[in-house]
């Protein structure tokens, strides 16, 4: 169910409960009564006074049932709450109101192309309007719009007229999403990129990749993705597991109240940190594969430089080993344990093997009868046998390369192969679907 629909269902349920409570619990409140107290239960990061402010209600004011309903509606519309319900008590001196809430997940705020200001300045501009703001916002709702309004007002006070847009976007620095704020600034371009590590400035490999940024529209997202995908791996391979790249800085000079430059020079500070060494792995949850097999699959020995890229590849090899044995849904969850004094890293890895799957059937579309026969004859996994995911992926590679090993000398033309796996949990089988276009 969509989050907004879910929130409204809870709200309507709350309103229904309130109506029933009012009808069955004497004495019923008058048409209006003084609001004496606003309470909130279930809070994690917000405070009761902050919730009260969000409702728009004021203690001491005359309120009726419609006012209480409208207040709950405001909480739902704010986006800060996944669930909202409420009840009230009639007292001799007025009404005591209690909200029962569940706060919604929040994601980091991210400023994409506002290069003239530090993140701290932009965060303070939002906090001035939303005192509860802690650098994170819900995915949608009134408070996100209010944050955008605060940023727009901040720009105006600095002589900039630009509409602030916001959207949920993939986090360029890692997993999850961010609430991205940006302006329409196609005239802004990246004039140059300088790194805090001199070796990067003279690296032929880096200079070869920089054209992906230079001369392009200024975008912090693009810069951070470049750092994550092109620069960070070179440090991880050398054991700098806690290297800090950025955040990128813009070094502008001149009067900020005059026309701002359209060519943006970017500086990326780099803090290398220490070189870490690999200490070892402890495994749990594994039954199908032995601890020795799993450790050998990772490939690093105790005392080796902790090559971060090799470690990630090791976890993938473990997943592949399970996939070869039909455990195509096996989960490998490593937890890093840093010893910052000794500069070592150990891992505790929890394995959820799941269940083995066997090959069920294959559906093929887009091929002639003869071509389909050739494909089925070349298929490497007999029906009913454990589904070897490695063989499946190797077969896909041959199809995408138009390998004659499959179709022999049969003339056949296709541009792409759609491929899907359809597991049946109850039967423990997996069907293969191939669509040729």
> Mean pLDDT over residues 172-186, rounded?
91
Look at residue 26 in the predicted model and tell me its pLDDT.
39
pLDDT tens-digit series, residues 294-314: 999 999 999 999 999 999 999
Look at residue 260 in the predicted model and tell me its pLDDT.
60
Q: What are the strands, taking DSSP E only, across 299-343?
A: 331-339
Mean pLDDT rounded to a whole number for the chain:
90
Neighbours of 234 (CB within 10 A): 17
Question: Residue 343 in contact with residue 276, Cβ under 8 Å?
Answer: yes
pLDDT tens-digit series, residues 23-81: 334 344 458 899 999 999 999 999 999 999 999 999 999 999 999 999 999 999 999 99
Confidence of residue 282 (pLDDT cuts 50, 70, 90): very high
Round to whole Å and give the CA distance between 278 and 303: 5
Look at residue 17 in the predicted model and tell me its pLDDT.
38
> Mean pLDDT over residues 182-195, rounded?
89
Confidence of residue 184 (pLDDT cuts 50, 70, 90): confident
Question: Residue 424 in contact with residue 431, Cβ under 8 Å?
Answer: yes
Confidence of residue 259 (pLDDT cuts 50, 70, 90): low
pLDDT at 256 over 90: no
Confidence of residue 257 (pLDDT cuts 50, 70, 90): low
Task: Look at the block and give the residue holding tokens 């071509």.
Answer: 371
pLDDT tens-digit series, residues 343-390: 999 999 999 999 999 999 999 999 999 999 999 999 999 999 999 999
pLDDT tens-digit series, residues 117-152: 889 999 999 999 999 999 999 999 999 999 999 999
pLDDT at 169 over 70: yes
What is the CATH architecture of 358-436? Answer: Roll (3.10)
Round to whole Å and give the CA distance between 305 and 282: 18
> Mean pLDDT over residues 4-23, rounded?
40
pLDDT at 159 over 90: no
Instruction: Tell me which of 260 and 166 has the higher pLDDT.
Output: 166
pLDDT at 13 over 50: no
What tokens does 58 get?
């004021």
Q: What are the strands, taking DSSP E only, across 104-199?
A: 107-111, 136-137, 164-170, 177-183, 189-195
The CATH fold assigned to 277-352 is Ubiquitin-like (UB roll) (3.10.20)
Confidence of residue 254 (pLDDT cuts 50, 70, 90): low
Look at residue 227 in the predicted model and tell me its pLDDT.
95
Which helix (H) or strand (E) segment is 153 a member of?
A: helix 142-157
Look at residue 21 in the predicted model and tell me its pLDDT.
38
Look at residue 10 in the predicted model and tell me its pLDDT.
42
pLDDT at 160 over 90: no
Look at residue 9 in the predicted model and tell me its pLDDT.
38
Portions of the chain given CATH number 3.10.20.310: 3-103, 277-352, 358-436
According to the per-residue pLDDT averaged within each range, which of 203-217, 251-265, 342-356 is highest?
342-356
Look at residue 23 in the predicted model and tell me its pLDDT.
36
Look at residue 255 in the predicted model and tell me its pLDDT.
52
Confidence of residue 187 (pLDDT cuts 50, 70, 90): confident
Angle at CA 42, nearest 5°, toward 39 and 43?
80
CATH superfamily name and code, 3-103: membrane protein fhac (3.10.20.310)
Look at residue 161 in the predicted model and tell me its pLDDT.
83
Confidence of residue 340 (pLDDT cuts 50, 70, 90): very high
Judge if the upstream peptide bond of residue 343 is cis by omega within 30 degrees of 0: no
> Mean pLDDT over residues 144-171, rounded?
94
Round to whole Å and give the CA distance between 427 and 423: 9
């Amino acid at each position: 169910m969509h989050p907004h629909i879910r929130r409204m269902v809870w709200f309507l349920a709350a309103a229904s409960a309130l109506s029933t409570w009012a009808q069955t619990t004497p004495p019923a409140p008058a048409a209006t009564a003084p609001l004496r107290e606003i309470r909130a239960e279930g809070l994690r990061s917000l405070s009761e006074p902050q919730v009260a402010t969000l409702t728009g209600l004021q203690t001491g004011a005359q309120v009726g049932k419609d006012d209480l309903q409208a207040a709950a509606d405001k909480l739902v519309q704010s986006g800060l709450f996944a669930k909202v319900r409420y009840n009230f008590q009639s007292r001799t001196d007025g009404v005591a109101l209690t909200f029962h809430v569940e706060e919604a997940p929040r994601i980091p705020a991210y400023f994409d192309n506002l290069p003239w200001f530090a993140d701290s300045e932009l965060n303070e501009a939002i906090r001035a309007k939303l005192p509860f703001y802690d650098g994170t916002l819900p995915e949608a709702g009134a408070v996100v719009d209010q944050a955008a309004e605060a940023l727009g007002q901040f720009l105006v006070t600095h002589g900039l007229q630009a509409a602030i847009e916001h959207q949920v976007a993939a986090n360029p620095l890692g997993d999850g999403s961010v609430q991205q704020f940006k302006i329409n600034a196609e005239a802004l371009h990246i004039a140059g990129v300088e790194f805090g590590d001199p070796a990067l400035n003279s690296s032929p490999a880096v200079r070869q990749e920089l054209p992906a940024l230079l001369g392009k529209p200024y975008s912090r997202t693009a810069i951070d993705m470049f750092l994550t995908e092109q620069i960070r791996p070179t440090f991880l391979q050398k054991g700098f597991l806690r290297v800090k790249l950025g955040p990128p800085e813009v070094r502008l000079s001149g009067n900020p109240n005059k026309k701002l430059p359209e060519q943006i020079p970017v500086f990326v500070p780099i803090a290398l940190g220490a070189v870490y060494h690999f200490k070892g792995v402890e495994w749990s949850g594994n039954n199908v594969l032995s601890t020795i097999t799993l450790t050998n699959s990772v490939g690093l020995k105790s005392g080796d430089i902790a090559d971060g890229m090799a470690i990630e590849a090791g976890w993938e090899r473990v997943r592949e080993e399970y996939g070869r044995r039909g455990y195509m849904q096996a989960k490998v969850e490593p937890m890093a344990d840093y010893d910052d004094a000794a500069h070592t890293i150990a891992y505790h890895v929890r394995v959820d093997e799941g269940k083995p799957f066997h090959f069920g059937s294959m559906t093929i579309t887009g091929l002639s009868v003869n071509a389909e026969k050739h494909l089925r004859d070349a298929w490497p996994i007999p029906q009913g046998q454990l589904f070897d995911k490695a063989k499946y992926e190797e077969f896909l590679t041959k199809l995408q390369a138009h390998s004659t090993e499959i179709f022999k000398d049969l003339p056949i033309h296709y541009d792409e192969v759609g491929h899907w796996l359809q597991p049946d949990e109850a039967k423990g089988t997996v069907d293969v679907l191939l669509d040729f276009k």
